[in-house]
């Protein structure tokens, strides 16, 4: 992981620190009066950035689980859309319940649907020999079609997750309201980054996952059930990507719209690559892309008229293109990525 410890980690650690430093300056130094600095580091933009980051990092983690085990997942967008739609259906069906159980059911629905999409992806790729990129495309088309067909445009989801302030920590200046007064899926997303990062590096499951992603034959020889682990990880990854979509419905927006993921799955994919297939790196990359969206949003709110709003709205997409074009040096994909694995019974 030499490549990781160099550029990506530095970037992943640097960007949040930079943003936090800016936030403190705005809070405590006279910079608050300087409009551009307040716009770039104020509470409003940083909160928006975090909100935009959560679905991206969940999608990117979903991608990491699939791709570190050797399966290309371009269908994150579809898994997210399916997760969002499932959350909406579950939420609207239980509007008459108390808010808590209803949201919990929505979360379960989103996780299960995502996992089912992941399993479908694995089934297509591993059982039926479909090209992995095409299978991902099919998942996107499938969830677009199904959500458009079954979307009840009159249905309204009542209520969404409210912030859960962490005792004591949420009282801290700047950091408190920014990080410790958030709704639950945001906490969960940040926690999952740490869990996946640790598990990939330090557990038996992680070692096996990396092994089947880098060299499945060697792993097989050593007794790892390559295909079974690939099924498992793709389903897990799908569940996380689904949660990224569910977040939009259950926590951020509160409603579903057709095609509401709006390319977030692809940006998440870009974050995974930019983060060098590492959870912490992907977090940094997601934050960068989320921040780009927030900058766009602030510029639109401030009605900056130098540029027409269409060009301002291009910023997140252009930042993504520039980032995957290797802004921070070369990245390295898992060794067996995209190659179907067939066990050879006799050679």
- Binding residues for other proteins, rule: CB under 8 A, are 72, 74, 124, 128-135, 137-138, 140-142, 144-146, 148-149, 263, 266-267, 269-270, 273, 303, 305, 308-311, 313-314, 317-318, 320-321, 324-326, 330, 338-339
Measured from the CB atom, is 97 or 151 closer to other proteins?
Answer: 151
Q: Minimum Å distance from CB 325 to other proteins?
A: 4
Q: Minimum Å distance from CB 314 to other proteins?
A: 5
Q: Minimum Å distance from CB 166 to other proteins?
A: 36
Alpha carbon separation from 215 to 62, 121, 341 (Å, rounded): 21, 21, 10
Q: Minimum Å distance from CB 267 to other proteins?
A: 8
Q: Are 245 and 87 in contact (CB under 8 A)?
A: yes
Q: Are 119 and 238 in contact (CB under 8 A)?
A: yes
Measured from the CB atom, is 202 or 309 closer to other proteins?
Answer: 309
Helix axes 204-214, 226-247, angle to 10 degrees: 100
Measured from the CB atom, is 325 or 345 closer to other proteins?
Answer: 325
Q: Minimum Å distance from CB 233 to other proteins?
A: 18
Q: Minimum Å distance from CB 246 to other proteins?
A: 21
Q: Indicate the pairing of strand 164-165 with strand 181-182.
A: antiparallel
List the alpha helices (DSSP H) in 29-75.
Answer: 35-41, 43-68
Torsion angle (degrees, nearest 10) of CA 181, 183, 187, 192: -170
Measured from the CB atom, is 169 or 322 closer to other proteins?
Answer: 322
Measured from the CB atom, is 162 or 321 closer to other proteins?
Answer: 321
User: Left (φ > 0), alpha (ψ -120 to 50) or beta: where does 334 sit?
Assistant: beta
Measured from the CB atom, is 149 or 221 closer to other proteins?
Answer: 149
Quick one: which of 63, 344, 69, 342 has its CA closest to 214? Answer: 69
Measured from the CB atom, is 66 or 188 closer to other proteins?
Answer: 66
Q: Minimum Å distance from CB 245 to other proteins?
A: 17
List the alpha helices (DSSP H) in 181-302.
Answer: 184-202, 204-214, 216-221, 226-247, 264-274, 279-301
Contacts of 168 by beta carbon, 8 Å cutoff, 6+ apart: none
Residue 273 CA to its chain's centroid (Å): 12
Measured from the CB atom, is 21 or 314 closer to other proteins?
Answer: 314
Q: Minimum Å distance from CB 4 to other proteins?
A: 17
Q: Are 289 and 323 in contact (CB under 8 A)?
A: yes
Measured from the CB atom, is 191 or 327 closer to other proteins?
Answer: 327
Contacts of 224 by beta carbon, 8 Å cutoff, 6+ apart: 208, 211, 212
Q: Minimum Å distance from CB 26 to other proteins?
A: 26
Residue 130 CA to its chain's centroid (Å): 25
């Amino acid at each position: 992981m030499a490549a990781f410890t160099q550029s990506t980690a530095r970037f992943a650690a640097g960007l949040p620190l930079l943003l936090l430093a800016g936030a403190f300056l705005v809070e405590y130094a006279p910079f608050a009066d300087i409009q551009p600095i307040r716009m770039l580091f104020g509470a409003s933009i940083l909160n928006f950035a975090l909100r935009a980051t959560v679905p991206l990092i969940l999608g990117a983690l979903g991608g990491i689980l699939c791709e570190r085990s050797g399966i290309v997942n371009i269908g994150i967008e579809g898994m997210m859309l399916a997760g969002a739609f499932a959350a909406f259906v579950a939420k609207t069906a239980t509007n008459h319940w108390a808010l808590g159980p209803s949201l919990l059911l929505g979360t379960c629905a989103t996780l299960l649907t995502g996992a089912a999409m992941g399993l479908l992806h694995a089934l297509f790729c591993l059982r039926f020999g479909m090209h992995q990129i095409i299978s991902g495309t099919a998942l996107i088309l499938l969830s677009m079609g199904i959500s458009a067909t079954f979307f009840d445009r009159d249905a309204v989801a009542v209520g969404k997750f409210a912030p859960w302030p962490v005792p004591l920590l949420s009282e801290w200046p700047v950091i408190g309201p920014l990080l410790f007064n958030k709704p639950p899926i945001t906490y969960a997303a940040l926690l999952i980054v740490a869990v996946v990062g640790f598990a990939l590096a330090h557990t038996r499951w992680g070692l096996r996952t990396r092994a089947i992603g880098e060299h499945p034959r060697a792993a097989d020889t050593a007794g790892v059930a390559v295909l079974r682990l690939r099924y498992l990880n793709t389903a897990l990854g799908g569940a996380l990507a689904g949660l990224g979509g569910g977040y939009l419905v259950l926590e951020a927006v509160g409603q579903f719209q057709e095609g509401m993921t709006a390319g977030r799955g692809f940006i998440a994919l870009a974050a995974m690559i930019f983060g060098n297939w590492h959870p912490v790196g992907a977090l940094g990359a997601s934050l960068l892309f989320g921040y780009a969206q927030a900058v766009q949003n602030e510029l639109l709110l401030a009605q900056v008229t130098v540029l027409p709003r269409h060009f301002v709205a291009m910023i997140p997409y252009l930042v993504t293109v520039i980032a995957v074009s290797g802004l921070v040096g070369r990245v390295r994909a898992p060794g067996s990525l995209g190659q179907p694995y067939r066990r050879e019974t006799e050679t």
